[in-house]
């Protein structure tokens, strides 16, 4: 939405972690309330109608019916954790939550700088979004410790992908986006 601004564009008012989104990282979207380039959004319109609340969790109707369909399917990021992440931000305090989000963003940047074969950006965004922070730190440390100095970019990416898939499987997490079926998109 044109001229829509928020104090925290890296953490969307609906609970998405824009800081970890491939669109945000690619400079295609400035994050929720980051200004020009922000996509039209029913949640933003709702926020503006309710005098510009910063997060849906501040609304007396949270979680409302908007979340019922939203959490079932993903876009560039998983939607299944939107409510949980908003609740965590309230429990932890926004500053602590944003610090954790920044830590995840730093891990993601390290992966993209040293372990990306040009085909793993979205996968890394998803893994960093869904896995626990301690898993992310452990995996990154193990990768750095075990990588051969002459490993190709493709080999490094395969090594990282395998490590993240193993960690996700151990926690029962699927590292796939849940896309809306085509027949539902036409409705």
**What one-character DSSP code corresponds to residue 5?**
B
Block residue for tokens 């931000």: 89
Return per-residue pLDDT of the chain as tens, 187 residues: 566 788 898 999 889 999 999 988 888 888 888 876 556 778 888 888 887 688 999 988 888 888 877 777 777 888 888 899 999 999 999 999 999 999 999 999 999 999 999 999 999 999 999 999 999 999 999 999 999 989 999 999 999 999 999 999 999 988 887 777 666 554 4
Q: What's the CA gap between 111 and 62, in Å, rounded?
A: 35
Residue 97, pLDDT score: 96
Task: Report the helix count and the strand count for the chain, using DSSP H and E.
Answer: 9, 0
pTM, entire model: 0.87
Other CB atoms within 10 Å distance of the CB of residue 53: 16
- Whether residue 15 contacts residue 56, with contact meaning beta carbons closer than 8 Å, is answered with yes
**What one-character DSSP code corresponds to residue 34?**
B
Residue 186, pLDDT score: 47
Give residue limits of the domains in the chain: 18-170
Non-local (6+) Cβ contacts of 148 within 8 A are 155
Block residue for tokens 């730093």: 106
């Amino acid at each position: 939405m044109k001229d829509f601004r928020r104090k925290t564009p890296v953490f969307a008012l609906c609970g998405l972690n824009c800081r970890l989104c491939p669109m945000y990282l690619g400079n295609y979207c400035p994050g929720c309330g980051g200004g020009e380039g922000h996509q039209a959004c029913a949640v933003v319109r709702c926020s503006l109608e309710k005098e510009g609340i910063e997060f849906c969790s501040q609304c007396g109707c949270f979680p409302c019916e908007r979340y019922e369909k939203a959490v079932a399917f993903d876009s560039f990021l998983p939607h299944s954790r939107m409510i949980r992440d908003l609740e965590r931000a309230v429990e932890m305090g926004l500053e602590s939550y944003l610090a954790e989000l920044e830590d995840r963003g730093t891990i993601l940047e390290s992966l993209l700088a040293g372990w990306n074969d040009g085909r793993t950006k979205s996968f890394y965004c998803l893994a960093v979004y869904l896995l626990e922070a301690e898993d992310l730190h452990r995996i990154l440390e193990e990768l750095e410790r075990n990588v051969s100095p002459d490993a190709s970019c493709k080999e490094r990416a395969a090594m990282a992908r395998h490590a993240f898939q193993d960690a996700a499987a151990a926690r029962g997490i699927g590292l796939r986006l849940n896309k809306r079926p085509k027949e539902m998109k036409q409705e």
